[in-house]
Amino acid sequence: MTKTMRAVEITTAGGPDVLQIADRPMPVAGHGQVVIKVAYAGVNRPDALQRAGLYAPPNGASDLPGLECSGEVVALGDGVTEWALGDEVCALLPGGGYAEFVATPAAHCLPVPDGMEMRAAACLPETFFTVWSNVFMRGGLQAGERFLVHGGSSGIGTTAIQLARAFGARVFTTAGSDEKCAACLALGAEVAINYREVDFVDVIKGVGGADVILDMVGGDYIARNLRSLAEDGRLVQIAFLQGPKAEVNFAPMMMKRQTITGSTLRPQSDLAKAEIARQLRQKVWPMLTAGKIAPVMDQEFALADASAAHMRMESSSHIGKIVLQL
């Protein structure tokens, strides 16, 4: 095995052009880890935040961007028994996905679903871990409840629509164009709201309020989300694209027994992520294998074109997931 590998590094905080190809040392599998020969790496919003200097990697994580990949297990650390050399996996990563090889905890890997291409499998971990842990584990979404997800055409949105629908919820979503709304409806949303033309608060209150809202917008959406929640509703925050601060009247929240919660995935413990992986394998992976749900693909770029992939993502013109091919 070679001692160095090609990788995309962040040369300095800035725009997409700061992403450059470089040679880096090969990772080594530590205790409980595997090394994966990367086939495809997913491109996600946190990658762009890290590139811009707004989202530092956790202690001990690679400084290279990339939080998910698909590929082949090529090395096993001490204590790893659940995987064998040559296994095809997709994995949640602490960082380092924009490279030919990456190390990650074995417990954060999942098998590539039967019949699924590697490029599609690379789109699974970050969004499925995020949606499952926030909408179902934290938000407690139940069959028959009304679920609102903002940014329905994003990687998170397309995943959330499908999973919520598959588990029996009524799905409502917002998106920024008629084309994006149509894509959301095709995935199973009951109502798709073009937020540039219609106030989602009026629509959601008109159906009785949302039981769970998944939001990554923040800013003035925080107060608007709370107005949209039903009694005993749960607002789950996973990002703040319009800022984390808002002026909120908390009295209605108390009167309606609402809950505000949220999380970010990367800083959570290895044990917490392993539990999310366990639940996904048990409850969601059979649906992927059966073809009942599937990742929505937008566009594929070569590793050397990572800057173009980031430009595509930050244009917000994409529908679904963007990947890098190694």
Q: What backbone phi and psi angles, to 5 degrees, belong to 36?
A: -110, 130
Mean pLDDT of the 40-64 span: 93
Q: What is the pLDDT of residues 124-135, one digit of tens each?
A: 999 999 999 999
Q: Is the pLDDT of residue 1 over 80?
A: no
The pTM score is 0.95
Instruction: Grade residue 2 by pLDDT with cuts at 50, 70 and 90.
Output: low
Please tell me the predicted confidence (pLDDT) of residue 232: 98
- Cα end-to-end distance, the chain, whole Å: 17
DSSP 132: I
153: left (phi over 0), alpha (psi -120 to 50) or beta: alpha
The CA distance from 16 to 30, in Å, is: 32
Domains and CATH numbers, the chain: 4-124+266-325 (3.90.180.10), 128-262 (3.40.50.720)
If one counts every other C-beta atom within 10 angstroms of the C-beta of residue 144, the result is: 9
Q: What is the pLDDT of residues 254-280, one digit of tens each?
A: 999 999 999 999 889 999 999 999 999
Q: Considering Cα of 146, then 277, then 263, then 7, what sign does the dihedral take?
A: negative
Q: Which of 108-117, 155-164, 316-325 has the lowest mean pLDDT?
A: 316-325
